[in-house]
Amino acid sequence: MKKLIAILSALILVLSFAVSANAEAAKTYTVGIIQMADNGAFTDMREGYIARMRELGYTEDKMTFDYQNAQGDMSNLASICQAMIDKKVDYVVTIATPPSQAFLNMGSDIPMFFLSVSNPVGAGIITDMAKPDKNATGTSNAIPVEEMFKLSAKLTPNVKTYGLIYCTSEVNSMTTITKAKAYMDANGLKYVEAVVTNSGEVQQAVQSLIGRVDAIFVPNDSVVQTALTVVADAAKEAKIPVYGSSAVMVASGAFATISISDTQIGQMTAEMSNQYLKGTAIADIPAVVVSDFTMVINKTTAEAIGVTIADDILSTAKIIE
Amino acid sequence: MTLFLGSLQLGLMYGLLAMGVFISFRILNTPDLTAEGSFTLGVAVSAMVTLAGAPYLGLLAAFLCGMAAGGVTGLLQTKVGIHPILAGILTMSGLYTINLAVMGASSNVSLIGKETLFQQLFAKLAPLPKDIVKLMVGAVLALLVLGLLIWFFKTHLGLCIRATGNNEAMVRSSSINASGMKIMGLAVSNGCIALSGAIVAQYQGYADISSGIGILVVGLASVIIGEAVFGRRSVTLGLVSAIVGSVLYRIIISLALSSNVFPTYFLKLISAVIVAVALSIPTLKGELNKARIRREGRNRA
């Protein structure tokens, strides 16, 4: 029992230090950022957000960011959200669906800006995208599946069967896959699915598709994304194109995508936060589905798989070597 | 204050998980990896039953489903003779699909704005602050399950399960069905783990297929931290120390979160170091004691 008391009192002592240390920075804005996991897209969004806020005049002496990352461990999310509420941050920025749900469910009066939530209404964090009713607004980046397949029809018109690689545990990629299947069913295209549950299984998933498909489509899936070079290499060897869902994927060796850069999504959300800081109520800042897309093509991959791209497309696309 | 209260709330809710892990790890003396699957199963079942309008029934349903999952691992271990670690892994990966199916093939189900048992209690106990209500729910549930488990492990069946963990050969020679006892023990263990997931789902306001990732480590760390404080004596004390260990673990995590000294990506390392330090205290104390005795011995000589 003595031991318990000793440990507890030591903990309380350290805790009180931590609390008092936070109380000092009062005059500036403190913004909490809660990121679900370490993945390229999330990190780009966060950095895009912070960079834009700095540009908008919220310099380091005026705004500090308290960035926390659950590192994929959902049992930490609640603690992170509680820490933010304790620190009385001015508002929080949540990246991905679970942190947004976890923070909103705490029922604090701290406003929330969300990023990378593919279906905010379904996730229960907003009732109507146009009228934020839960003190939360932000951006949703649904992948433009239709545009994606139209691009594919233009660049590689002979593709009849697509391979789909995705992880069943991600709500974002499941949303995209459902849309992709609906589009293909309606347009007489065929598809073969390869499902993974962690990034270690991606290699075998790709190999199971090679020889059975004419192209591979990867949704906005953070698990597959971490192993995208594996997908890209195998596809290059088999000389089939990989269509990705973000510029990061194309940079990792996928052939092409129609997307908005994750940095831009961060920037757009930063503009919304700026509106709020300038006095607009959260309820008057509609949540938006990002729809301003650019074509991104990887030229090295194009050459490797022997696809020639017409000049008119090349001139409008963003080219990655 | 929210963080401290929050750590208490979470610690009590994850205390159910810690008790479940204690049952398989210490009482049955068998490494059971089903936890990651059965925790998520609890999360999923509780969320779906809550959506159907019966949050309390959700807890009970989750407990029963968790028991079934533990039973499957037990069957694989005893009747089919699969190595205990592999049996747990098999059930865990099988549960992944079942969990997705429970959640209607969706990887995330939202409970925000739905009638969870917390929402119902907030309304009923209106003037009380929400944080206190959440704390009460955690405490009542943890104490209730604690009481039931203490009672259970003193019944004839409970004693047989404990004996199986202590000395299986002895149990078999007393013509007790050792396999049955193992299956029963694993069922109770995973029932508790699923119940923990069930209450956490309603607490955090969503169910996600990844909820169980890393949960076994959380449970084991809680059990061992508890033992570092109380020592290893009786089953009753062990169950109590699992809950205390779980609360301490949450406080450790919250400390790691509120220290702004290190960059964010240090979180896991910091929490690992703090846990390691906490665990080494008893050994260090013992060493210090020995050193003191040696010194005194020399002085006397």
Q: What is the pLDDT of residues B1-11, one digit of tens each?
A: 677 888 899 99
A39, A101, B189 from B140: Cα distances, Å: 39, 25, 19
**CA distance to partner chain A, nearest, from residue B155 (Å):** 28
pLDDT over 50 (residue B255): yes
Q: Are residues A192 and A233 in the same domain?
A: yes
Q: Which residue of A has its CA nearest to B197?
A: A75
Q: Taking CB atoms and an 8 Å limit, are A107 and B106 in contact across chains?
A: no
Checking ipTM against 0.85, whether it exceeds it is no
- More confident site: A172 or A11: A172
The reported pLDDT for the residue numbered A225 is: 86
Q: Which residues of B touch A69 (CB under 8 A)?
A: 264-265, 267
Question: How do residues B89-122 score in pLDDT, each as one tens digit?
Answer: 999 999 999 999 999 888 888 898 888 999 899 8
- More confident site: A33 or B4: A33
Rounded-to-integer distance, Cα B28 and Cα B134, Å? 32
Show the domain range for B94: 2-211
Side-chain half-sphere exposure of B66, counting CA atoms within 13 A? 34
Q: Which residues of A touch B251 (CB under 8 A)?
A: 11, 15
Q: At which residue do the structure tokens 């959902």 appear?
A: A74
Weakest mean pLDDT among A214-228, B33-47, B53-67: A214-228
Residues 6+ apart with CB under 8 A from A27: none
The reported pLDDT for the residue numbered A320 is: 84
Show the domain range for A32: 2-141+263-289
As separate numbers, helices (DSSP H) first and strands (DSSP E) second, chain B gives 12, 2
Question: How do residues B261-301 score in pLDDT, each as one tens digit?
Answer: 777 777 778 777 877 887 787 788 888 888 888 888 888 77
Q: Are residues A202 and A285 in the same domain?
A: no
Rounded-to-integer distance, Cα B32 and Cα B25, Å? 7
Amino acid letter, residue A121? V
The reported pLDDT for the residue numbered B138 is: 94
User: Strand pairing partners for A31?
Assistant: A65, A91
CATH number for A247: 3.40.50.2300
Q: Are residues A225 and A108 in the same domain?
A: no
Q: Which residues of B touch A82 (CB under 8 A)?
A: 2-3, 5-7, 254
Mean pLDDT throughout A286-303?
A: 87
Nearest residue to B232 (alpha-carbon basis) of B26, B4, B11:
B26
Question: Within an 8 Å CB–CB cutoff, is residue A55 touching chain B?
Answer: no
Q: Are residues A248 and A106 in the same domain?
A: no
User: For A83-89, which contacts have Cβ atoms below 8 Å and span 24 or more sequence positions?
Assistant: A83/B3, A83/B254, A83/B257, A83/B258, A84/A32, A84/A34, A84/A110, A85/A110, A85/B2, A85/B3, A86/A19, A86/A22, A86/B1, A86/B2, A86/B3, A86/B258, A87/A22, A87/A30, A87/A32, A87/B258, A88/A30, A89/A30, A89/A31, A89/A32
Q: Are residues A37 and A132 in the same domain?
A: yes
pLDDT over 70 (residue A19): no
pLDDT over 90 (residue B247): yes
pLDDT band at B56 (very low <50, low <70, confident <90, very high): very high
Rounded-to-integer distance, Cα B2 and Cα A109, Å? 13
pLDDT over 60 (residue A120): yes
Q: Are residues A9 and A137 in the same domain?
A: yes
Q: At which residue do the structure tokens 């694993």 appear?
A: B186
Question: Within an 8 Å CB–CB cutoff, is residue A125 touching chain B?
Answer: yes
Q: At which residue do the structure tokens 């060796």 appear?
A: A253
Q: Are residues A197 and A311 in the same domain?
A: yes
Dihedral of CA A124/A130/A131/A136: which sign? positive
Rounded-to-integer distance, Cα A82 and Cα A102, Å? 10
Q: Are residues A78 and A150 in the same domain?
A: no
Question: How do residues A167-215 score in pLDDT, each as one tens digit?
Answer: 888 877 888 898 899 999 999 999 999 888 888 888 888 888 888 899 9
Number of domains, chain A:
2
Structure tokens at A26: 């009062």
The reported pLDDT for the residue numbered B188 is: 97
Q: Which residues of A touch B205 (CB under 8 A)?
A: 101-102, 104-105, 124
Question: How do residues A255-292 score in pLDDT, each as one tens digit?
Answer: 999 887 788 899 999 999 999 999 999 999 999 988 77
- Residue A203 class from Cβ within 10 Å (0-12 exposed, 13-18 middle, 19+ buried)? middle
The reported pLDDT for the residue numbered B139 is: 95
Q: Which helix (H) or strand (E) holds B106?
A: none
- More confident site: A3 or A308: A308
Q: Taking CB atoms and an 8 Å limit, are B265 and A4 in contact across chains?
A: no
> Does B138 map to a domain?
yes
The reported pLDDT for the residue numbered A15 is: 54
pTM score, whole prediction: 0.80
Do A320 and A297 touch, CB atoms closer than 8 A? Answer: yes
pLDDT band at A71 (very low <50, low <70, confident <90, very high): confident
Do B38 and B167 touch, CB atoms closer than 8 A? Answer: no
> Does B232 map to a domain?
no
Supply φ then ψ for residue B231, to 5 degrees.
80, 175
pLDDT over 90 (residue B51): yes
Q: Are residues A92 and A190 in the same domain?
A: no
Q: Are residues A37 and A100 in the same domain?
A: yes
> Does B242 map to a domain?
no
Number of domains, chain B:
1
Q: Are residues A96 and A214 in the same domain?
A: no
> Does B301 map to a domain?
no
Supply φ then ψ for residue A67, to 5 degrees.
-95, 125
Q: At which residue do the structure tokens 């912070």 appear?
A: A50
Q: Taking CB atoms and an 8 Å limit, are B205 and A104 in contact across chains?
A: yes
> Does B116 map to a domain?
yes
The reported pLDDT for the residue numbered B158 is: 94
